[in-house]
């Protein structure tokens, strides 16, 4: 049986400390937004979750590419794990966004580019699991899964770009040439909490994907013994 690596243990502990730490920072350190009030605090985890989701789908596509050229199973495990974890992060982004949208936009859902793209992205990657589960051998699961992960990652920006040409009501917090000459429309305290959240979620992503990959490996080993 494979032993849990020291570095993974370290990241585990780091996440255990930093996730509540970021929450404390957001709840007590950041100022309350003038117009939106405390519901604005959803923003920190919302954007971080969306970022982690996007990043994991990119990792999945890259790992799929490496799998196709090397044909080593561990890359498929990484690809599969990233998509699974990314799906959860995407869901968190959508749900936290809805919680924010209800008081601010006065509706749970609008057909806005970012919302629609994220929802479609979730559907695309849900189909990934349907695809995998209806394939018989681990080899074909890995091979076709990799192809699908790469093609999907290529269409997500296309979807975003195509819906972007409609008008958007989603707030753009990070924009080139925002107010005050800075790219970020935030106070320094908000900025700090924001970057901490981003960092924590990225770390959490690495941690979860690593754990899930190890699980896939252990599963494969056990199945190999069972035959």
Partner 1 sequence: MNPFWDYLNAIWNILRKDLQVEWRGKQGVPVMLVFALLVVFLFNFALQLSPDLQAGLAAGLLWVSLAFASTLGLNRSVSLEQENKAMDGLLMAPVDRSAIFFGKFLSNFSFTFLVGLVLLPVFSLFYQQNMFKSMLVLVIILGLGAYTSLGTLLAALSIQTRTRDVLLPVLLYPLALPILIAAVEASRSILAGQPISDYQSWMTFLLACNILFTAAGLMFFETILEE
In the complex, the residues that contact partner 1 under the rule CB under 8 A are 68, 120, 123-124, 127, 130-131, 134-136, 140, 143-144, 147-148, 150-152, 154-155, 158-159, 161-163, 165
Note the helical H segments in the chain: 6-24, 42-70, 73-104, 113-133, 138-164, 188-226
To partner 1, the closest distance from the beta carbon of 146 in angstroms equals 8
To partner 1, the closest distance from the beta carbon of 69 in angstroms equals 10
In the complex with partner 1, the residue whose CB is nearer, 42 or 94, is 94
Distances (CA, A) of 149 to 12, 114, 139: 27, 20, 15
To partner 1, the closest distance from the beta carbon of 82 in angstroms equals 18
In the complex with partner 1, the residue whose CB is nearer, 124 or 205, is 124
In the complex with partner 1, the residue whose CB is nearer, 112 or 207, is 112
To partner 1, the closest distance from the beta carbon of 91 in angstroms equals 16
22 in Cβ contact with 200 (< 8 Å) = yes
| Contacts of 209-214 spanning 24+ positions with Cβ under 8 A | 209/56, 209/59, 209/78, 209/81, 209/82, 209/85, 210/8, 210/11, 210/81, 211/8, 212/80, 212/81, 212/84, 212/85, 213/74, 213/77, 213/78, 213/81, 214/2, 214/4, 214/8
Q: How far apart are CA 8 and CA 78, in angstroms?
A: 15
Tally of CB atoms within 10 A around 155 = 13
In the complex with partner 1, the residue whose CB is nearer, 24 or 158, is 158
In the complex with partner 1, the residue whose CB is nearer, 111 or 195, is 111
In the complex with partner 1, the residue whose CB is nearer, 135 or 192, is 135
């Amino acid at each position: 049986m494979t032993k849990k690596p020291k570095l993974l243990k370290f990241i585990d502990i780091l996440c255990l400390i930093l996730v509540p730490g970021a929450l404390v920072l957001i709840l007590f350190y950041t100022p309350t937004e003038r117009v939106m009030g405390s519901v604005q605090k959803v923003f920190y985890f919302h954007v971080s979750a969306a970022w982690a989701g996007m990043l994991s789908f990119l990792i999945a596509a890259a790992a799929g590419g490496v799998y196709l050229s090397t044909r080593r199973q561990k890359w498929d495990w990484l690809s599969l794990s990233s998509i699974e974890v990314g799906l959860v992060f995407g869901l968190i982004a959508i749900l936290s966004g809805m919680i924010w949208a209800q008081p601010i936009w006065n509706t749970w859902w609008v057909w806005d580019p970012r919302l629609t793209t994220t929802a479609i992205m979730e559907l695309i990657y849900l189909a990934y699991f349907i695809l995998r589960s209806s394939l018989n051998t681990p080899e074909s699961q890995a091979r076709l899964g990799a192809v699908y992960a790469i093609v999907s990652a290529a269409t997500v920006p296309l979807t975003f770009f195509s819906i972007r040409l409609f008008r958007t009501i989603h707030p753009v917090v990070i924009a080139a040439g925002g107010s005050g000459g800075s790219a970020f429309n935030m106070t320094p305290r908000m900025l700090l909490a924001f970057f901490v959240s981003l960092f924590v979620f990225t770390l959490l992503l690495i941690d979860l994907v690593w754990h899930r990959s190890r699980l896939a490996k252990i599963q494969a080993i056990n199945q190999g013994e069972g035959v």
